[in-house]
Structure 1
Amino acid sequence: MTHTDLLALATRLAREAGDAIEAVRRAGFAIERKGDASPVTAADRLAEGIITEGLRLATPEIPVVAEEAFSAGEVPAVQERFWLVDPLDGTKEFAAGLDEYVVCIALIEGGRPVLGVLAAPARGSVYGGIVGTGAWIEEGGQRRPIQARRAPPEGLHLLDSRSHRDAAATEAYCANLSIAETTRMGSALKFAWMAEGKADLMPRLSAGIMEWDTAAGQAVLEAAGGRVVDAEGRPLTYGKPGFRNPGFVAWGAM
């Protein structure tokens, strides 16, 4: 399968998972806690089942690393090429009745995300992209290309986490930057906003953010002309021990 074929597969599965998430939301759900005290719902598990089953059926040769399975101790041996899945990124926002949650599917090759999909079912939006080819948004059955923007002369639009803020680190990083506006929001939707040219900068300098939280967003943003680097300015890579990221910074077009 080509990258175009694989992106189409991931897009279809992200839509199906998003539909399932919305069905759970309408029906009502309980909130449970995993071993690390993070929340999980039936929507997380249902969406992950849809995605992982679909990926394994269509691409049995490509391992799948998925958040809920990993939390349950299912850790496949990764190769040069593997899928990274977060079935419902922004469970806190989902549980709070907000619309800032997304389905994340990315393909990793050689330690880098090469394509990804972010589906925001509550907003009716799907973002996708192939690095080196381009990115798009689909809304209302219409697809159009998107592109990260260059920093406007009036200053940067900063995106900050709603629930995982490190105010001191963010303020220190931005001390010599011109920040015109700050928006706080949840989930990898922040990457989509940057890919769409709505914002310019997202520092997440605390270590420990998981790779499935960032891979799809990084792929879409980089496909749109942005970049994601670690705190030292090196490209953010994947397949690390425990699938944990260091601190990172996402930028729009430079």
Structure 2
Amino acid sequence: MSNITFSAADLHKVIELAKKAGDAIMQVYAQSDLGVEVKQDDSPVTAADIASHNVIVAGLKRHFAAIAVMSEEAADISWTERQTWQTYWLIDPLDGTKEFIKRNGEFTVNIALIHQGKAVAGVVYAPVLKKCYSGILGQGAWLEQGGTVTSLDISERQIQTPPIVVGSRSHVSPDVAQYLEQVGEHNMLSVGSSLKFCMVAEGQADVYPRLGLTSEWDTAAAQAVLESAGGVVLAYPAMTPLEYNQKENILNPYFIAASPAWFAKS
């Protein structure tokens, strides 16, 4: 992580922000009217998305005033401006809005620090599950649940037999089915939001193939967690690192997120 210092104390501030945003989301979640509207791209947005966004942006500006912020709910930032950014916050205030609307609990708050195209630190908080994942590249990754903090390290984890593949609950891609044919025998788990990355980071799944569209804010925080835990995220089929803010378009290429053992075998 050249030319940037991000400490455990800094991470703690972001974790607390994610939890406050989660509290704001849960206040809306408890109401009968979720305030659902449809954005120009036909994706849903709720009162909880906006409430979480406001909490996170205010907190980041308070604690890290010098660092730019880009959020899914305030993404109208020109490429002319963005391409000058060396370091910035990339946030998805409520990842898994469809899961939120379905009230299945599989949604997350995502806050990532991007530096020179890499997701170098991230926090993923699932307010219903009360699970908080965090990581700093080169320093480690952690899961906080029920007052207990556990270190996450899959750098030497072996692939399960048969392998466990995690996929999207709301987005099914024909290309994934083709990829799974190559995998052969496997067990499939369907989960919403960025929790799929986190299941790989926890060792609950071996691979997450995302052969469908995502935006950069959908993946950054969870990629930071997974890679801090020793995992790997590669664009597919190029098999190059998944990077951020390298082009005007904020859509990600297809990618595969997995343990190192997965890529070693393929």
Structure 2 match to 1:162: 169
Task: Output the TM-score relative to the length of structure 1.
Answer: 0.93
Counterpart for residue 264 of structure 2: none
Tell me which residue corresponds to 2:214: 209
Residue 139 in structure 1 maps to residue 145 in structure 2: yes
In 2, distance between residues paired with 1:177 and 1:25?
Answer: 38
Distance (Å, rounded) in 2 between the aligned partners of 1:234 and 1:174: 20
Taking a change above 3 Å as real, the CA distance of residues 179 and 104 of structure 1, as seen in their structure-2 partners, is farther
User: Is the CA contact 1:82–1:108 (under 8 Å) kept in the aligned structure 2?
Assistant: yes
For residue 75 of structure 1, report the CA deviation from its aligned partner: 5.0
Q: Distance in 2 between matches of 1:26 and 1:57?
A: 28
CA distance in 2, matches of 1:131, 1:51: 22
Does residue 41 of the first structure (1) align with residue 56 of the second (2)?
A: no
More deviation in 3-12 or 50-59?
Answer: 3-12
Q: Of 189, 196, 203, which aligns to 2:202?
A: 196
Question: RMSD in angstroms over aligned alpha carbons?
Answer: 1.6
Instruction: Describe the superposition over 1:7-46 as per-residue Cα deviations: whole angstroms up to 9, x where unpaired.
Output: 1221111000001111111123221100011011010000
Indicate the SS of the match to 1:51: helix
**Counterpart-to-counterpart distance in 2, 1:177 and 1:65:** 36
**Partner Cα separation in structure 2 for residue 198 and residue 192 of structure 1:** 9
User: Deviations along 1:163-192, whole A, 9 cap, x unmatched?
Assistant: 1111x3112223332442101111001111
Query: Unmatched 5+ residue regions in structure 1?
Result: none
Provide the secondary structure at the position in 1 that maps to 2:111: strand
In structure 1, what is the Cα distance between the partners aligned to 2:114 and 2:6?
Answer: 14
Q: Distance in 1 between matches of 2:185 and 2:227?
A: 22
Alignment length, in residue pairs? 250
Task: Establish whether residue 65 from structure 1 lines up as the match of residue 70 from structure 2.
Answer: yes
Q: For residue 25 of structure 1, what is the aligned residue in structure 2?
A: 29
Residue of structure 1 aligned with 2:10, choices 6, 14, 25: 6
Q: Compute the TM-score of the two structures, normalised by the length of structure 2.
A: 0.89
On the 8 A contact 1:150/1:200 being kept in 2, the answer is no
Give how far 1:156 is off.
1.3
Alpha-carbon shift at residue 74 of structure 1 (Å): 4.6
Change (3 A) 1:151 1:177: farther
Q: Could you tell me how far apart the structure 1 residues matched to 2:232 and 2:26 are?
A: 31
* Alignment correspondent of 1:243: 250
Contact 2:201 2:229 (C-alpha < 8 Å) held by counterparts: yes
Structure 1 distance, partners of 2:192, 2:152, is 21
Contact 2:163 2:206 in 1 (8 A): yes
1:13–1:54 contact (8 Å) kept in structure 2: yes
Provide the C-alpha distance between the structure 2 equivalents of 1:180 and 1:172, rounded to a whole number of angstroms.
Answer: 13
Structure 2 residue ranges without an equivalent (≥5): 262-266
Shift of 1:146: 1.6
What amino acid does structure 2 have at the position aligned with 1:124?
A: K
Kept in 2, the 8 Å contact 1:65–1:75? The answer is no
Q: Deviations over 1:122-145 (max 9, x none)?
A: 001100011121111111122111
Contact 1:69 1:75 in 2 (8 A): no
| C-alpha distance in 2 between matches for 1:100 and 1:8 | 23
- Does the 8 Å CA contact 1:227/1:252 hold for their aligned counterparts? yes
Identity %, equivalent residues: 41
1:244 is matched by which residue type in structure 2?
L
**1:67: Cα distance to partner?**
0.3
Using a 3 Å threshold, how does the CA distance of structure 1 residues 179 and 238 change in structure 2: closer, same or farther?
farther
Distance in 1 of aligned mates of 2:131 and 2:19:
9
What SS is found at the alignment partner of 1:175?
helix
After TM superposition, the structure 1 stretch with the greater mean CA deviation from structure 2, 37-46 or 175-184, is 175-184
